[in-house]
Chains A and B, each alone.
Chain A
Amino acid sequence: MLLFFVHALAQRRRPPVPLPEPDAFSGTMDDGKSEFTFVRSVHTGLGPWAYYKGWYTDWPKADRQFILGIQRLTNIGVAERGKAIPLTDPAIFQYPFVYAVEVGHLNLTDPEAAALGEYLRRGGFLFCDDFWGTWEWENFRQNIERVLPGKKIVDLDLTHPIFHCYYDIGEIIQVPNVGAALYERNTHEQDGIVPHCRGIFDDTGRLMVVINWNTDLGDAWEWADLPGFPARYSTYAYQMGINAIIYAMSH
């Protein structure tokens, strides 16, 4: 009964968390005219854990470090600073790739769900990361069902081009949070033992949503400069992130 109550409380929709303001973190906003700008989705999360697991997790350092990686490792004309854009902001349509974190705690409003659905149908690409276990999965599934009603979520086979369009990725690795990575504790969180890379395709067969479940690529981007952070995790996180961008920009 208590569990049910807690769960019901958690499912209540709350307005987007007012803190922190995206611009306060991004400093001078990017002019939006670079070929690629790393954009983070600003969306409504669940309470009362909103301050703990919100859209801004690992932000902005993860984004900045990942952008440096894109600059260093590819030919992409990437904007030096990323952006955090609310899903309901029409400006999001100027950026066909968006990164969403802690999607296990999504609590999308109807306008957000509609805007994200329209974004994806127009050709946008959503890269989801850092959510764990059955409960968060179920919450994510319910939210994405409102975004793309009737669309199936499928496990991506390792032969899929997203694993080979830039780097050849032969294994889906569970990237733990920084604490677990540094102190070699269990790599999983909650009951998310097995990492998955799942996807949603549009009617033409284009992969438009990539869901990294039971793994935390953002932490690996954020802490890749930490001498003790295992290269195995950061390498995978960078490769997977870059492959996703290359895939979105070539398919």
Chain B
Amino acid sequence: MTEIFEFFFKYRPLVYQKGAFAFQAPWPAALTWVLLAAAIVLSWLLYRQTAAVFTPRWRALFLLLRAVPLLLLIFIFLQPVLLLKSVIPQKGHVAIAYDVSKSMEIEDGPGGESRLDQVRNLLTPGMHPFLDELGRKFQLRFFRFSGQAERVAGFEDLPRRGNITSIEQVLNRVAEEMSDVSLAGIVLVTDGADNRSTGLAAAAARLRAANTPVYPVGVGAGSLPRDAEILRVTGPRKVLKDSLIEADVTIRSRGYAGRKARLQVLAGSRPLQSTEITLGSDGEVKTHKVHFTGDAAGARIFTFRLDPLGGEVVTQNNENNMLVRIEDEQPAILYVEGEPRWVYAFIRRAAEEDRNLQLTTLLRQADGKFLRQGVEDASVLAKGFPLEKAELFRYKAIIVGSVEASFFSFDQMRLISDFVSRRGGGFLMLGGRNSFGQGGYLNTPLEDVLPVNLRDAGGTGNAGWRELEYKVRLGSYGKVHPVTRLSMDEDENAKRWGSAPALVGINPTAGVKPGATVLLEGILPDAQGTGPAVLAFQRYGRGRAMALLTGSTWRWRMEQDHRDNFHELFWRQMLRWLVNEVPDALALETERHSYSLEETVLLRAEANDASFIPLNNAQVNARVKSPSGQIAGVPLSWSVEREGIYQGRFKPLEDGIHEVSVDFDFGSRSLGTARTTFRVAESGEEFRDAAQNTRLLSQLAGDTGGRYYTLAQARHLPEDISYVESGVAQVETRDLWDMPAVFILIAAAVSAEWILRKRKGLA
């Protein structure tokens, strides 16, 4: 469109926007009016005698066609011009910032040219008029950037390209470095694949305030026609050894709608899991759940790889990583049961065979008579169910069996509620004659915690325990949830659940609460549509609460072959799910699990006492052990924003897995230590979401008063940027008399008149 405008009107619209219209006629203005009047009168006189032949309308048309060329000739002789204020050559400065991040390696240019090659052509003197023209008008300063920006003499490539891109960083750096000179603008040559800026809008506002427009020159294709990429992988940062790890793999694809692709999980080079997925329609983002087991303790990197598909421009984004810390520890679980039940014994047996679980149980055998099992010493649970926060909060999960609500005091139930919501613990209530609504939990603090509604339509929740036999089926999320995933293969998993022995007895509820997830539902003979939930969970505050509305899962053990580990696997996965991701009183984490060398790692520690009351005046010191064995100390200071949170920054100097430990001291007392791990590596992050982000670049240009250019349009940039509205400038005059539109209009009017005269018999 711009080109068409330029063809007819000699200059691009921007020149008209920037310039002021004027006539530079060689005669006085009065003469102009005389000439105009004469042209009109002359036209009238020429057609005066034809009045008898034509209707007045035709005569007016002929008159107009005769007058237009005359008027345009007068317009030409008036010497119309555009007056433009432009910078005085070499008086101002322009910063050219170009992107050397990894995404610039993508070869999506004409003839398979890489983005960086295109930038090289643009910014190498003598190769493109852009740089020469800009250099004539301004003094140029070059900046090279990826995650960080650095001043350079001109276009200089890097042997190791940046793993990240931060446009915010480069804009701030340029503004800071060029603050003492007259900066006409910043030319930003990039694909806009920014993956680190957090305050770009603020940076743009500052530049606008400083009257420094940004002129982005976009490099790279606006969309990759055929590409499948693993956008991200999310999963637990920490799991127990031998636990089933669930990862959400988010994949976006274009040009492969409905195609099958193989997604692999690898531990190093060892394949762990392979699954076939169906790619979504163009641009669709789909999340696939992948399960695998981390067997060896320590920091483990799991690689997720999508086999390359034919015709992909970028294959580097087919891979993504996840770092998981596999802990060989024994989180404590407290199980309180109100009566001897088989489920109690069978859960204990399943847990005992798992050396990464420590199950402490309290069984009421008769009124006032309790059996404690799995206690470390005689003092544990000596007074029954804990009365104090510090005693209860040392557990990471609580299981409440068939024990009526009146067994607990109101304060104890509040403790359990706080245990889930504030401490972030796991909670499970088992079905039975004395649990859920049947155990009187209506109107207690635990009613809110549970993922099922105890209150029926009548608001009473009085429905009795139902002692019937029924089978279960997986809910939609149950097919992939780590508790109910008993086989890596989805079909095999469904088959195992399909053949699971029947359960006996269920606690009727009024359905699951909004936001709760059903993993198992009962196939009851009298149920219509979907059956009642048998296993469901919900998040509650910082923690998670699960409801298993039966106490007969031991039948899955007794009624299946002794070699079938269905029951054991279910319960171990259940117990591990309850404790996985439950925070410790002293915790340490980093924002992400993987960094590049250009980045600074933010260490974030949380200090609580045994009752999970935040400690704000602890001394918190981190030690970062690099892969080469060097240890760096990092003091962490209290972040005023949140109670008990301490932060510190560390700049890594080498690639590899870094081990961090933090010592917490309170006065002269040592509170303990927390550990975490992060990885420093070249990442494929730059290749994800790597199409040119024209939206971001246009927005940036708009916000700063600049203009977005494609590479092809970049040749206009030197001219556009040279026009200013204020400041020290020179006035430039651009002739308009010779614009093609004028001559085309004259020719059109004369031709039209001639044709019409011919048809009317006047010629």
Residues of A close to B345: CB separation below 8 A: 96, 123, 248-251
> In the complex the two chains form, is B349's CB within 8 Å of A75's CB?
no
> In the complex the two chains form, is A204's CB within 8 Å of B353's CB?
yes
Residues of A close to B561: CB separation below 8 A: 118, 122
Which chain B residue lies CB-closest to A124? Answer: B558
In the complex the two chains form, what is the Cα distance from A96 to B561 in whole Å?
Answer: 14
Distance to closest chain A CB from B308 (angstroms): 48
Which chain A residue lies CB-closest to B368? Answer: A75
Any A CB within 8 A of the CB of B363: yes
Any B CB within 8 A of the CB of A245: yes
Binary interface profile of A, 72-90, with partner B (CB < 8 Å = 1, else 0)? Answer: 0111110000000000001
Any B CB within 8 A of the CB of A137: no
Among residues 141 to 175 in chain B, which have CB atoms less than 8 Å away from a CB atom of chain A? Answer: none
**Given contacts A75-B367, A124-B558, A251-B345, A246 and B504 within 8 Å (CB-CB):** no
**Given contacts A73-B366, A75-B340, A249-B345, A93 and B559 within 8 Å (CB-CB):** yes
Selected from B365, B558, B562, the residue in CB contact (under 8 A) with A246 is B365
**Given contacts A75-B364, A75-B366, A96 and B349 within 8 Å (CB-CB):** no
Residues of A close to B365: CB separation below 8 A: 74-75, 166, 246
> In the complex the two chains form, is B367's CB within 8 Å of A246's CB?
no
Which chain B residue lies CB-closest to A122? Answer: B562
In the complex the two chains form, what is the Cα distance from A125 to B562 in whole Å?
Answer: 14
Residues of A close to B329: CB separation below 8 A: none
> In the complex the two chains form, is B371's CB within 8 Å of A165's CB?
yes
Binary interface profile of B, 335-379, with partner A (CB < 8 Å = 1, else 0)? Answer: 000111110111011001100000001011111010101000000
> In the complex the two chains form, is B366's CB within 8 Å of A96's CB?
no
**Given contacts A74-B366, A246-B365, A250-B363, A35 and B558 within 8 Å (CB-CB):** no
In the complex the two chains form, what is the Cα distance from A75 to B369 in whole Å?
Answer: 9
Residue among B340, B349, B352, B353 having the largest count of chain A Cβ atoms under 10 Å: B340
Any A CB within 8 A of the CB of B433: yes
**Given contacts A94-B555, A122-B562, A204-B353, A33 and B467 within 8 Å (CB-CB):** yes
Residues of A close to B11: CB separation below 8 A: none
In the complex the two chains form, what is the Cα distance from A96 to B556 in whole Å?
Answer: 12
Distance to closest chain A CB from B84 (angstroms): 90
Which chain B residue lies CB-closest to A206? Answer: B349
In the complex the two chains form, what is the Cα distance from A248 to B344 in whole Å?
Answer: 10
In the complex the two chains form, what is the Cα distance from A11 to B340 in whole Å?
Answer: 40
> In the complex the two chains form, is A246's CB within 8 Å of B340's CB?
yes
Residues of A close to B363: CB separation below 8 A: 250
**Given contacts A74-B340, A75-B367, A204 and B352 within 8 Å (CB-CB):** yes
> In the complex the two chains form, is A249's CB within 8 Å of B344's CB?
yes
In the complex the two chains form, what is the Cα distance from A251 to B433 in whole Å?
Answer: 22
Any A CB within 8 A of the CB of B666: no
> In the complex the two chains form, is B342's CB within 8 Å of A96's CB?
yes
In the complex the two chains form, what is the Cα distance from A36 to B363 in whole Å?
Answer: 16
> How many residues belonging to A are interface residues under a CB distance threshold of 8 Å?
29
Residues of B close to A32: CB separation below 8 A: 504
In the complex the two chains form, what is the Cα distance from A77 to B433 in whole Å?
Answer: 10
> In the complex the two chains form, is A36's CB within 8 Å of B558's CB?
no
> In the complex the two chains form, is B349's CB within 8 Å of A123's CB?
yes
Residues of B close to A77: CB separation below 8 A: 339, 341, 433
Residues of B close to A93: CB separation below 8 A: 558-559
Any B CB within 8 A of the CB of A121: yes
Distance to closest chain B CB from A9 (angstroms): 35
In the complex the two chains form, what is the Cα distance from A245 to B345 in whole Å?
Answer: 11
Selected from A123, A204, A250, the residue in CB contact (under 8 A) with B554 is A123
Residue among A31, A123, A206 having the largest count of chain B Cβ atoms under 10 Å: A123
Residue among A90, A93, A204, A245 having the largest count of chain B Cβ atoms under 10 Å: A93
Which chain B residue lies CB-closest to A97? Answer: B342
In the complex the two chains form, what is the Cα distance from A248 to B348 in whole Å?
Answer: 11
In the complex the two chains form, what is the Cα distance from A77 to B402 in whole Å?
Answer: 11
> In the complex the two chains form, is B366's CB within 8 Å of A118's CB?
no
In the complex the two chains form, what is the Cα distance from A189 to B464 in whole Å?
Answer: 51
**Given contacts A96-B342, A122-B557, A204-B349, A250 and B371 within 8 Å (CB-CB):** yes
> In the complex the two chains form, is B558's CB within 8 Å of A249's CB?
no
Binary interface profile of B, 503-514, with partner A (CB < 8 Å = 1, else 0)? Answer: 011000000000
Residues of B close to A74: CB separation below 8 A: 340, 365-366
> In the complex the two chains form, is B558's CB within 8 Å of A122's CB?
yes
Residues of B close to A96: CB separation below 8 A: 342, 345, 554, 558
In the complex the two chains form, what is the Cα distance from A73 to B352 in whole Å?
Answer: 29
Among residues 299 to 350 in chain B, which have CB atoms less than 8 Å away from a CB atom of chain A? Answer: 338-342, 344-346, 348-349
Among residues 4 to 27 in chain B, which have CB atoms less than 8 Å away from a CB atom of chain A? Answer: none
> In the complex the two chains form, is B371's CB within 8 Å of A246's CB?
yes
> In the complex the two chains form, is A251's CB within 8 Å of B558's CB?
no
In the complex the two chains form, what is the Cα distance from A245 to B364 in whole Å?
Answer: 14
**Given contacts A74-B365, A94-B559, A166-B371, A245 and B349 within 8 Å (CB-CB):** no
Among residues 558 to 598 in chain B, which have CB atoms less than 8 Å away from a CB atom of chain A? Answer: 558-562
In the complex the two chains form, what is the Cα distance from A165 to B560 in whole Å?
Answer: 29
Distance to closest chain A CB from B525 (angstroms): 15
Binary interface profile of A, 32-67, with partner B (CB < 8 Å = 1, else 0)? Answer: 110110000000000000000000000000000000
Distance to closest chain A CB from B340 (angstroms): 4
Binary interface profile of A, 216-235, with partner B (CB < 8 Å = 1, else 0)? Answer: 00000000000000000000
Which chain A residue lies CB-closest to B469? Answer: A33
Distance to closest chain A CB from B100 (angstroms): 61
Binary interface profile of B, 530-571, with partner A (CB < 8 Å = 1, else 0)? Answer: 000000000000000000000100110111111000000000
Residues of A close to B467: CB separation below 8 A: 31, 33
Residues of A close to B348: CB separation below 8 A: 250-251
Binary interface profile of A, 157-174, with partner B (CB < 8 Å = 1, else 0)? Answer: 000000001100000000
Residues of A close to B352: CB separation below 8 A: 204
Which chain B residue lies CB-closest to A72? Answer: B366
Residues of B close to A35: CB separation below 8 A: 339-342, 551
Residues of A close to B373: CB separation below 8 A: 250-251
**Given contacts A166-B371, A250-B373, A76 and B558 within 8 Å (CB-CB):** no
In the complex the two chains form, what is the Cα distance from A80 to B107 in whole Å?
Answer: 80
Distance to closest chain B CB from A51 (angstroms): 32
Residues of B close to A166: CB separation below 8 A: 365, 369, 371
Distance to closest chain A CB from B32 (angstroms): 110
In the complex the two chains form, what is the Cα distance from A251 to B373 in whole Å?
Answer: 9
Which chain B residue lies CB-closest to A164? Answer: B371
Distance to closest chain B CB from A102 (angstroms): 25
Binary interface profile of B, 395-436, with partner A (CB < 8 Å = 1, else 0)? Answer: 000000000000000000000000000000000000001000
Distance to closest chain B CB from A221 (angstroms): 19
In the complex the two chains form, what is the Cα distance from A73 to B433 in whole Å?
Answer: 19
Binary interface profile of B, 429-464, with partner A (CB < 8 Å = 1, else 0)? Answer: 000010000000000000000000000000000000
> In the complex the two chains form, is A249's CB within 8 Å of B366's CB?
no
Residues of B close to A33: CB separation below 8 A: 467, 469, 504-505
Residues of B close to A31: CB separation below 8 A: 467
> In the complex the two chains form, is B558's CB within 8 Å of A75's CB?
no
Among residues 457 to 498 in chain B, which have CB atoms less than 8 Å away from a CB atom of chain A? Answer: 467, 469
> In the complex the two chains form, is B340's CB within 8 Å of A245's CB?
yes
In the complex the two chains form, what is the Cα distance from A47 to B364 in whole Å?
Answer: 45
Selected from B342, B555, B562, the residue in CB contact (under 8 A) with A249 is B342
Which chain B residue lies CB-closest to A34? Answer: B467
15 contacts between A and B (CB under 8 A): A33-B505, A36-B340, A74-B340, A76-B340, A77-B339, A93-B558, A93-B559, A96-B554, A123-B345, A166-B365, A206-B349, A249-B341, A250-B340, A250-B344, A251-B373
Q: Interface of B with A (CB < 8 Å)?
A: 338-342, 344-346, 348-349, 352-353, 361, 363-367, 369, 371, 373, 433, 467, 469, 504-505, 551, 554-555, 557-562
Q: Interface of A with B (CB < 8 Å)?
A: 31-33, 35-36, 73-77, 90, 93-94, 96, 118, 121-124, 165-166, 204, 206, 245-246, 248-251
List 10 additional contacts besides A122-B560, A122-B562, A123-B349; criterion CB under 8 Å: A33-B504, A75-B340, A96-B342, A96-B558, A122-B557, A123-B346, A123-B557, A166-B371, A249-B345, A250-B348
User: 3 tightest CB-CB pairs across the interface, nearest first?
Assistant: A121-B562, A249-B340, A75-B339
